[in-house]
């Protein structure tokens, strides 16, 4: 199918006769069009790249969020990975930070910076392939962290802190005390760096949550229950984020504290995370209000939720949809357990 579209575009449009501006317009005009147009733009080399950069630099402010800027940005990232393209994308972000949409665009630009800086090279790749799957994830997070712009660093710190904590639990499960110690140190360092970011709450709700949650999980592992409780409550005071509002918090530390009998602090945590709900104007009750109140009732009655139940029910509350079949994961009156 794509070959037929590509052939049709080449036949009807005579791409070699088009200007760069006309090619940009065609690039995303139909499925498969980029397969024909992209190679033609790339064939024209640095002259086309420089014209694309000039287009991007001169896009009117009112049009920075439009299709033209987005298409030029995509072509530069995919067809002309170079220091000149990276600099142009940096200027674009300075003019209109939201033009690079979401974490995937930020990831592509950061990977480009890693490649151009020489941090991503054959030696790094050999080291990467020698690691276990869990360690590879952390290794990649650290590469991105080293290549991030200062203003983007907190985004990659969140991923690195979460990855280091996951690797800590893997090492603990595999009875690898050396790796367990190394990953706990990394997780703590990443979390503390997150929480040291100035004006963190206005910059990253995920950062507030992750920084405190990681420190709380490590404190709980050391047996410092008071510190774990304190960090759980501080984590719940995050202003929220798209990911937290939609997917919900990570519940592991709350469940671990329930296993220690700390029911009231988990109920306080639940009261605080109700602020994540954005689906109905106050004071009307929201699906999450009702969900949290039900969970608190079960907890105070001696029951305990499982991680799966909390994730599933939180997500379903976003959809304003009742369960067709209630899960038996919230077990009233039974001892705490995962």
Structural domain including 148 reads 101-197
Query: Is residue 336 located within the same domain as residue 261?
Result: yes
Query: Is residue 262 located within the same domain as residue 338?
Result: yes
Query: Is residue 162 located within the same domain as residue 115?
Result: yes
Query: Is residue 151 located within the same domain as residue 125?
Result: yes
Query: Is residue 121 located within the same domain as residue 42?
Result: no
Query: Is residue 257 located within the same domain as residue 297?
Result: yes
pLDDT score for 286:
62
Which of 103-112, 124-133, 301-310 is the most confident on average? 124-133
DSSP string, 233-267: HHHTTS---HHHHHH----HHHHHHHHTT-HHHHH
pLDDT score for 331:
42
Query: Is residue 242 located within the same domain as residue 338?
Result: yes
User: Tokens 């590879």 belong to which residue?
Assistant: 136
Round to whole Å and give the CA distance between 155 and 183: 19
Torsion sign (Cα): 258, 260, 261, 267? negative
pLDDT score for 17:
84
Residue with more model confidence, 78 or 221: 221
Query: Is residue 7 located within the same domain as residue 74?
Result: yes
Round to whole Å and give the CA distance between 64 and 244: 28
Query: Is residue 7 located within the same domain as residue 95?
Result: yes
Domain assignment present for residue 153? The answer is yes
Span 269-310, pLDDT tens digits: 999 987 775 544 444 556 777 888 888 988 998 887 666 677
Domain assignment present for residue 226? The answer is no
Query: Is residue 154 located within the same domain as residue 244?
Result: no
Domain assignment present for residue 211? The answer is no
Domain boundary among 197, 227, 262: 197
pLDDT score for 194:
97
Domain assignment present for residue 219? The answer is no
Domain count, the chain: 3
In the predicted model, what is the mean pLDDT of the chain? 81
- Per the CB < 8 A criterion, the answer to whether 75 and 21 are in contact is no
Query: Is residue 88 located within the same domain as residue 121?
Result: no
pTM here is 0.69
Mean pLDDT of 96-116: 69
């Amino acid at each position: 199918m794509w070959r037929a579209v590509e052939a049709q575009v080449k036949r009807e449009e005579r791409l070699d006769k088009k200007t760069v501006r006309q090619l940009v317009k065609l690039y995303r005009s139909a499925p498969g069009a980029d397969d024909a147009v992209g190679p033609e733009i790339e064939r024209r080399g640095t002259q086309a790249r420089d014209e694309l950069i000039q287009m991007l630099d001169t896009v009117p402010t009112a049009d920075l969020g439009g299709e033209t800027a987005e298409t030029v940005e995509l072509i530069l990232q995919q067809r002309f990975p170079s220091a000149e393209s990276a600099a142009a994308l940096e200027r674009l972000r300075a003019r209109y930070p939201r033009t690079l949409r979401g974490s995937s665009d930020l990831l592509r630009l950061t990977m480009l910076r890693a490649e151009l800086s020489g941090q991503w090279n054959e030696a790094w790749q050999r080291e990467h392939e020698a690691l276990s799957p869990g360690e590879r994830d952390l290794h990649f997070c650290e590469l991105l962290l080293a290549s991030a712009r200062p203003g983007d660093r907190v985004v990659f710190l969140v991923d690195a802190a979460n990855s280091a904590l996951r690797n800590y639990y893997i090492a603990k499960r595999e009875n690898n005390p050396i790796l367990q110690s190394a990953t706990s140190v990394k997780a703590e360092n990443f979390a503390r760096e997150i929480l040291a970011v100035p004006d963190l709450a206005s910059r990253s709700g995920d950062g507030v949550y992750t920084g405190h949650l990681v420190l709380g999980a490590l404190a709980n592992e050391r047996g410092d229950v008071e510190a774990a409780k304190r960090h759980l409550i501080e984590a719940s005071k995050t202003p929220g984020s798209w990911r937290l509002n939609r997917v919900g918090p990570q519940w592991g530390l709350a469940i671990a504290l329930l296993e220690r009998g700390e029911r009231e602090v988990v109920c306080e945590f639940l009261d605080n995370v109700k602020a994540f709900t954005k689906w109905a104007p106050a004071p009307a009750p929201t699906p999450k209000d009702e969900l949290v109140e039900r969970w608190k009732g079960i907890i105070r009655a001696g029951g305990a939720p499982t991680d799966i139940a909390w994730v599933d029910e939180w997500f379903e509350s976003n959809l304003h949809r009742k369960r067709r079949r209630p899960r038996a994961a919230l077990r009233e009156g039974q001892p705490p357990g995962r």
